[in-house]
Amino acid sequence: MLQIETQAVGPFMKNGFVLWCDRTREGVLIDPGDEIEGLIAFAARHQLAIRHILLTHAHVDHVSGVAAAKRALGVKVYLHRDDEFLYRDAVQHGLLFGLRVEAPPPVDEYYAPGQVIGFGDYEVRPHHTPGHCPGGVCLQIAPKGQRGEDLFVGDTLFAGSIGRTDLPGGDYETLIASIKQVLFSFGDQARVYPGHGPATTIGRERATNPFLR
């Protein structure tokens, strides 16, 4: 079974995730931010071999821990190319909030259509979901050869809400299209892990999210 550790700290309360395969103890790190020391300590305590650092998008709250993660783990950093301008701006973006952010290291690999990234008995498929920002992706996790029902959606969709679209490169119509055409296509039973707040499901959001009526 896919194992998931979620941590969040102030001021952003952004979720950082360690996912791992029970059998092989290989894992991935998703969106390392200010909680990165906690996630690294967790991975060490549980003797996990983290294979990749995967970013849902490049807003500062989702990348402020990438430098520390890269230093500790020495594995590749993945991002969508269309968010490179935000990634390069992370230090400046942090200063707007009065925060000192360590500059993230260069991206090692840009997500490509149809790409499959493996760890242990699992596969990650990135799906482009622009709208909150130009390079937002949903990371679909599946046991090898099966249909994936765990979705790490960044700030595209939240339990009862949707991502803001008033930041550089954001667009409301594009966001709604990403949610309805990409995320809803995974089916009502799919589990959704947003960048902030609690997990939910596609079915629950389709039925009750006031922004998606």
- Nearest approach in angstroms of CB 35 to Zn ion is 13
Of the two residues 21 and 182, which places its CB atom closer to Zn ion in the complex? 182
Of the two residues 77 and 157, which places its CB atom closer to Zn ion in the complex? 157
- Nearest approach in angstroms of CB 101 to Zn ion is 14
Window contacting Zn ion (CB under 5 A); options: 10-18, 27-35, 37-45, 205-213: 10-18
Token look-up 């550089």 returns 168
- Nearest approach in angstroms of CB 161 to Zn ion is 12
* 202 phi/psi in degrees, rounded to 5: -60, -45
- Residue window 12-41: x/- pattern of binding to Zn ion, with contact defined by CB under 5 A: --x---------------------------
User: Does the protein bind Zn ion through residue 82 (CB under 5 A)?
Assistant: no
Window contacting Zn ion (CB under 5 A); options: 16-24, 47-55, 60-68, 98-106: 60-68
User: Does the protein bind Zn ion through residue 155 (CB under 5 A)?
Assistant: yes
**For residues 73 and 66, what is the distance between their CA atoms, to the nearest angstrom?**
10
**For residues 40 and 48, what is the distance between their CA atoms, to the nearest angstrom?**
10
Please give the residues from 123 up to 152 whose contact with Zn ion meets the rule CB under 5 A: none
**For residues 82 and 96, what is the distance between their CA atoms, to the nearest angstrom?**
22
Taking a C-beta distance cutoff of 8 angstroms, is the pair 66, 91 a contact? no
Instruction: State the pairing for strand pair 200-201/157-158.
Output: unpaired
Rama region for 74: left / alpha / beta (φ>0; ψ in -120 to 50; rest) = left
- Please provide the distance, in angstroms rounded to a whole number, between the alpha carbons at the two ends of the chain: 34
Window contacting Zn ion (CB under 5 A); options: 98-106, 175-183, 187-195, 205-213: 187-195
Token look-up 């909680």 returns 35
- Nearest approach in angstroms of CB 147 to Zn ion is 27
Taking a C-beta distance cutoff of 8 angstroms, is the pair 153, 140 a contact? no
Q: Can you tell me which of 33, 135, 169, 195 binds Zn ion, judged by CB under 5 A?
A: 195
Host H or E run for residue 37: helix 36-45
User: Does the protein bind Zn ion through residue 61 (CB under 5 A)?
Assistant: yes
Positions touching Zn ion (CB under 5 A) are: 14, 59, 61, 155, 195
